[in-house]
Structure 1
Amino acid sequence: MRTALVADGDLTARARILASAFDRFAARGYEGASLREIASNAGVSTALVTHHFGTKLALREECDARVARFIADKRDGATGAADVLGEVLGTYGPYLARMLGDGGEASAALFARLLEVARAMIDDGSASGWLRPSRDPEAQAATLVMLGVAPFLMIGPLTSWAGGADRALGRIAVPLAELYTHGLTTDDRLLAAVGLASEEAR
């Protein structure tokens, strides 16, 4: 699981503050993380944090902007939408999981950006025949975002279960891939439960 959220080799105070903010916001949430804690984790003074960013809200906004730029850069490159979503979650998963759960306008904006990437992934996959389209593509996109973020919401118990965060994410990757590729059930009982089995039979 990647935790280096600044440019490789960038050891400036500003970069260390941003890396610390991503780490502390992911661990404690926006309300729980203090500027003093972020500064201490970065090895700088609180005054230097306020000098560079002003307020905790401005620091969070810069973190969100970094995520947005990462998505834009990947989308502008040759990377496919599926790869973009995977890279975004692999790089920023813990931060996104915590901040999406915090609620508010900033969380809604982050979710909207992820939803846009998921929509593009579904459009690309459906057009190429790689993905099965859903009756509700918008909900399908939201579900893909939810499933992508969910492991990071549960990283604590998953880490205890598997004996390490990277080991946990590696182990669940296999059944998730199986679920995405082959499905889970062998009959239509789940479709029947939501009233869709008869529709499938037509």
Structure 2
Amino acid sequence: MRTVPISAGDLTARARIVASALERFAAHGYEAATMRDIAAHAGVSTALVTHHFGTKQALREECDARVVRFIAEKQDAPGTPSDVLGEVLGTFGPYLARMLGDGGAASDALFERLLEVARATIADGSASGWLRPARDPEAQAAALVMLGVAPFLMLGPLTTWAGGDSEAALQRIAAPLAELYTHGLATDDRLLAAAGLATEEAR
């Protein structure tokens, strides 16, 4: 097999390949995305992708590692834990939505990292008093991740609904989601009662 020449531009090419893989995996899913498509989108040859990463699975692992490093950097940076989940989803939302939906060990590992961020958000919010206590904080963390990822999972229909502009779609639903988080949705306990969680006052 012919060796691919290594040039000074390879480091930049590697970064382009990872960025392309994040986008192609997000757009098509892991199974449907091809090394050829990733290479074309990055403006490099398929041979160079293979030279840097070997296999598509290794490239997926590098994409996941990129997300994990981003989370770690944000957690170490100044700011509150509540900022981290928003920044992670704002940067990698489409990729996370697709990869979490694919299932498997790698998806489970990504979900667990997002749960860690959500747990920290809840702990910080509860300690500082800006989050209401939950009956089940662990389920609350899972719900935060689920609600955060959901708009990206629905990005296709939302984009159509917003006239073909995905950014406009995300911006438009941001306010109702913030209202839902802040004020809730229902004005009485009927939803809690339906879930078997009605307050003592309502029983």
Task: Give the TM-score band, short-chain normalised.
Answer: over 0.9
Distance 1:70-1:104 versus aligned 2 partners, 3 A rule:
same
Q: 1:97-108 to 2 correspondence within 5 Å?
A: 97-108=97-108
Question: Which residue in the other structure is 1:7 paired with?
Answer: none
Which protein is bigger by CA-based radius of gyration? 2
Contact 2:26–2:94, Cα closer than 8 Å, also in 1: yes
Please report how far the alpha carbon of residue 80 of structure 1 lies from its aligned counterpart in structure 2 after TM superposition.
Answer: 1.2
Distance 1:85-1:198 versus aligned 2 partners, 3 A rule:
closer
Contact 2:189–2:202, Cα closer than 8 Å, also in 1: no
Distance 1:108-1:200 versus aligned 2 partners, 3 A rule:
farther
Please report how far the alpha carbon of residue 81 of structure 1 lies from its aligned counterpart in structure 2 after TM superposition.
Answer: 1.1
Please report how far the alpha carbon of residue 199 of structure 1 lies from its aligned counterpart in structure 2 after TM superposition.
Answer: 2.8
Alpha-carbon distance in 2 for matches of 1:174, 1:194: 26
Alpha-carbon distance in 1 for matches of 2:56, 2:190: 49
Question: Which residue in the other structure is 1:89 paired with?
Answer: 89
Letter in 1 for 2:178: A
Q: 1:173-192 to 2 correspondence within 5 Å?
A: 173-192=174-193
Question: Which residue in the other structure is 1:17 paired with?
Answer: 17
Q: Alignment identity in percent?
A: 80
Please report how far the alpha carbon of residue 141 of structure 1 lies from its aligned counterpart in structure 2 after TM superposition.
Answer: 0.2
For structure 2, list consecutive stretches of 5 or more residues without a partner in the other structure.
1-10
Please report how far the alpha carbon of residue 33 of structure 1 lies from its aligned counterpart in structure 2 after TM superposition.
Answer: 0.3
Question: Which residue in the other structure is 2:67 paired with?
Answer: 67
Q: 1:191-202 to 2 correspondence within 5 Å?
A: 191-201=192-202
TM-score (norm 1): 0.93
Distance 1:127-1:95 versus aligned 2 partners, 3 A rule:
same
Question: Which residue in the other structure is 1:168 paired with?
Answer: 169
Please report how far the alpha carbon of residue 195 of structure 1 lies from its aligned counterpart in structure 2 after TM superposition.
Answer: 2.0
Please report how far the alpha carbon of residue 198 of structure 1 lies from its aligned counterpart in structure 2 after TM superposition.
Answer: 4.7
Partner secondary structure for residue 124 of structure 2 = helix
Question: May I ask how many residue pairs the two structures share in their alignment?
Answer: 193
Alpha-carbon distance in 1 for matches of 2:196, 2:100: 31
Letter in 1 for 2:63: C
Taking only aligned residues, the RMSD between alpha carbons, in angstroms, comes to 1.4
Runs of 4+ in 1 over 6 A off after TM superposition: none
Alpha-carbon distance in 2 for matches of 1:138, 1:200: 25
Alpha-carbon distance in 2 for matches of 1:161, 1:81: 32
Alpha-carbon distance in 2 for matches of 1:73, 1:39: 28
TM-score (norm 2): 0.92
